[in-house]
Amino acid sequence: MKHLSLVLLSMAWLPSAWAQATGTPSTVYRCPGPPVLYTDSISAQEAKEKNCRTIEGAPITIVQTVKPVAKPREGAPNASAPRNGEGRVDPASQRQRDSDARRILEAELKREEVRLAEMLQEFNNGEPERRGEERNFARYQERVAEMRAAISRKESDIAAIKRELAKLPQ
């Protein structure tokens, strides 16, 4: 307990002792205005003329920002690295990758088109068959609206796959 009070007392004394030792004024003023100004570089007379208040004893935090350094993405070439062709992909290897990507996208496109055809068949031009639990017409309309939205999403997915396929070299 005795040590704690000594530590607290020394912590209260340190800021003013540091200010006196460094020769900086220990009084900080808060001046009103559109941008509120906190300063310790004016005299007491100037502070009085500008209607500034002292804020002695209040902790002041100054935050200095540092511009973050952009880290290169994993697998991305380093912009500062010398360009000696070491990071380049062999043209035959790139053609193989493009071929694999095309094959995968075409398979996905077929699956999506088959699923869309199934959805359209079930949708039955906006009049799907009613289910047993849909005695209430509002539930039936809700399911029809959900089906319409799902069909729309599926069509946009198919369009996106076709765009991706168009980007790949033949």
Q: Which amino acid is at 91?
A: P
Residue 101, burial from CB neighbour count under 10 angstroms (0-12, 13-18, 19+) = middle
Mean pLDDT over 41-50 rounds to 84
Mean pLDDT over 124-143 rounds to 86
Q: How far is CA 30 from the centre of its chain?
A: 36
pLDDT for the residue numbered 9? 39
**Alpha helices, DSSP H only, in the chain?**
2-22, 44-49, 91-123, 137-167
Mean pLDDT over 158-170 rounds to 92
pLDDT tier, 67 (very low <50, low <70, confident <90, very high otherwise): confident
Mean pLDDT over 26-47 rounds to 79
Q: How far apart, in whole angstroms, are the C-alpha atoms of residue 120 and residue 148?
A: 9
pLDDT for the residue numbered 163? 95
Mean pLDDT over 50-75 rounds to 74
Beta bridge partners of 29: 39, 54
Checking if the pLDDT of 139 tops 60, the result is yes
Convert the pLDDT of each residue in 70-94 to its tens digit.
Answer: 776 666 555 555 556 667 888 899 9
Checking if the pLDDT of 1 tops 90, the result is no
Q: What are the sequence ranges of the domains in the chain?
A: 21-59, 91-167
Lowest-confidence range among 18-32, 51-65, 103-117, 143-157?
A: 18-32
Angle, alpha carbons 153-129-124 (nearest 5°): 50
Residues of the chain with pLDDT > 90, as a percent, come to 31
